[in-house]
A = this chain, B = another copy of it.
Amino acid sequence: MPNGFNQLPQYRQLYETLKKGIHEGLYAPGDLLPSENELSRTYGLTRPTIRQGLGELVNEGYIRKIRGKGSVVKRRKAGIGILNIKGTTDSLPTGKLRTLVVDAPVLKPWPAALKEELSATDLTHKCVYLSRLRLIELQPIFYEETLLPNRDLPGFLTQNLNDRSLFGLLAEDYGIRVTGGAQRIRAIGAKGKIQELLQVTNGTPILRLDKSYETNRPYYHFYTSIWCRTDAYYLEGAL
C-alpha cells in the first residue's frame, strides 16, 4: 500500500515523540527515559535506530546519556534557543512569542556583501527579502532579516508570515529542509533602525548573529541576520 506522506524516517519520528514527551512533562528533568532496549521493544525498532533518535536529543541538549544508568532528561532551557539549528521557538515559554512582519517579502538584488558567498546558480536569481520582529510578553526581543534565492518558490511573495514559522513554511509548502549551516556572532552597539525596533537606548550592547543555512535542495542556501537584546533574555544552546 502506498503510504503517501510518511516521509519522516522512523528515528526522526521517535525523536519528535520523545521531545514532545519532554515538553509536556511526561519526562521531567532528572527523570530517566525508557532504556534503549525498552524503546526498542516498544516501538519495534532495532537499537541502532533507537540510538539515532536519542542522538538527536543529545545534540539538541534535551538529554544526557550516562553509561550503566540511562538517558537523563536535562533541566529545562531558560533562554532563547536560536543558537542551535532548530527553529527559534522550540524552547520558549509556550505561547508567549509573537512574530510581526516588518517588511513583507519583496524581490531585491543581492547585497554586495553577500555576493562572494553565493553559488553561481543562486546569483542568477533575484533575492527574496523579508524581515520580522519577535516579541516575548509584548517586549521586542529580536529582529531578523532573511534573504533567500527566488528559485522555485511559487507564491512565496504573498505568504503571510505573521506568527508563522519560516522553517515550517519552507518545509511544508516547498519541501525545503535545513540540513546544516554556520553562524557568526558579534556584540555591537544599537543604533538607527535596530535601536528603534528593539526599543533600547543608543549604544546599548546588542547581539548580532549572521547565519547561513544549507538545505536538502542542492546548492540552495539562504541567510538570516538577527539582532537580539539580551538584557532580559539570553541566548542558550547545547555545546
Interface on A for B, CB 8 Å cutoff?
Answer: 48, 58-59, 61, 64, 66, 74, 77, 79, 83-85, 178-189, 203, 205-207, 211, 213-214, 218, 228-231, 234-239
Contact = CB atoms under 8 A, between A and B. Distances in A.
B182 A185 contact: no
Given A66-B218, A77-B182, A205 B188 contact: yes
Nearest to A227: B187
A192 to B, nearest CB: 15
Given A58-B180, A61-B182, A206-B205, A239 B218 contact: no
A166 to B, nearest CB: 15
Contacts of A228: 187
Contact of A187 (B84, B179, B205, B236): B205
B184 A214 contact: no
Contacts of A182: 61, 74, 77, 236-239
B185 A185 contact: yes
Contact of A59 (B59, B213, B231): B59
